[in-house]
Amino acid sequence: MDRFSFDGGSSGEAEGQEQLGALKRPGWSKELWEWVKTVGISFILVTVLHLFVFNLSTVEGHSMEPTLQEKEWLFVNKFVYLIGTPKIGDVVILEDPSAFGKEQELLVKRVVGLPGDQIEISDKHLYRNGELVDEPYIDTDIEDLDMMPLTVEAGSYYVMGDNRHARASKDSRMFGTVPLSAIEGKAQFIVWPYKQIKSL
């Protein structure tokens, strides 16, 4: 009887383990599914934020000196121009209008003219609507040629680099005004290197 009871107990224990395993498998699958959902939602969220809200851009070249230095990292607010428009003095990231048929490059420039503004460069200075523009962010007068008055068309902006040394910046003096659709966002902060962190 004892042996019979022992054999019967082993059979029951084995059945119990099988049932326990059957109960565990759905729990493991559910945990995996929750993990996959979390990763998927996180990926979608990061993608949406990158496309429509913000990203980080690295400064290349010297066209925005002394304000920006090469290799600095910028926090770019993309959302701000989905609900508003650029303002005078904004530092913006834009698609290079002169890159026809080439891989699209991004430029960083400052907005100096709004739709309807008349822009002129005379005697090495920038004028907007006939008035001399105060530009505390530059370290030299404009060393390139003067420019006849130009009126910024509707929906477009006139941009220049802060570096006013000769041939230092490719900007609206070369490729003309920039449509709002080509402006990707506003550079709001320098975020790296940490000693240079500041708002723009």
Catalytically annotated residues = 63, 109
Whether the bond into 26 is cis, omega within 30 of 0? no
Q: Output DSSP code: residue 126.
A: E
CA distance 70 to 107: 12
CA distance 189 to 138: 18
Phi–psi pair at 51, nearest 5 degrees: -75, -35
CA distance 182 to 93: 9
> Bridge-partner residues for 160, per DSSP?
110
